[in-house]
Amino acid sequence: MIMLKFAAAAIMFFSFSPIWPLGPNPLPGDPFLIVNKQTNEVAFIHDHKVQSVITAATGKTDDLTPEGMFTVTVKAADPYYRKKDIKGGDPRNPLGTRWIGFDAEDTDGRIYGIHGTNDPASIGRYVSNGCIRLQNEAVESLYESVPVGTKILVVSSPKNFDELGREYGAIKNDPLKE
């Protein structure tokens, strides 16, 4: 009986936790990221408005950066680059100074992510193997504002970020403008 009460309490705690990845997220006002592959830009939406738009690099081919609604599942400062055994903080590390990983294609957040770069000239281009690259300064700023559990939408769209934010519930419609 005690275990049942403990399990019920744990379920209630995690159900209302801001990092719980299930449920009606994003709620208007919650942090929300939109990556638009068509423009190679990332928008950070918070408190019902687009706070910043950052130029990014995405996949070499359209299919490399997966599209859909995902959840930030892991964050790392000075991430380790497993493919070539390069430690975090090493200037040769192509992941730069921060990693914001998300669960695209049923992965655990360690395959697809928004990260920095050791190649600033690549930003704005289609050059990655699927991740979203930002300048190190930009990803460091974003890293501080994006908690685990944040929703991230990856699309290829002609719509602007305000339209996408409203469509996906990150920005509530202003009744005074309707």
What is the pLDDT, as a whole number, of residue 132?
98
What pLDDT, in 10s, does the model give residues 45-66? 999 999 999 999 999 999 999 9
- In the sheet where 49-55 sits, what is the strand order? 49-55, 41-46, 32-36, 151-155, 68-77, 98-102, 112-115, 132-133
- Pair of tokens at residue 144: 């501080």
Residue 16 pLDDT exceeds 90: no
Contact 74, 99 (CB under 8 A): yes
Residue 130 pLDDT exceeds 50: yes
48 assigned to active site: no
Residue 170 pLDDT exceeds 80: yes
Q: 37, 75, 115, 133: which is the annotated catalytic residue?
A: 115
Residue 7 pLDDT exceeds 90: no
Q: 131, 138, 139, 164: which is the annotated catalytic residue?
A: 131
131 assigned to active site: yes
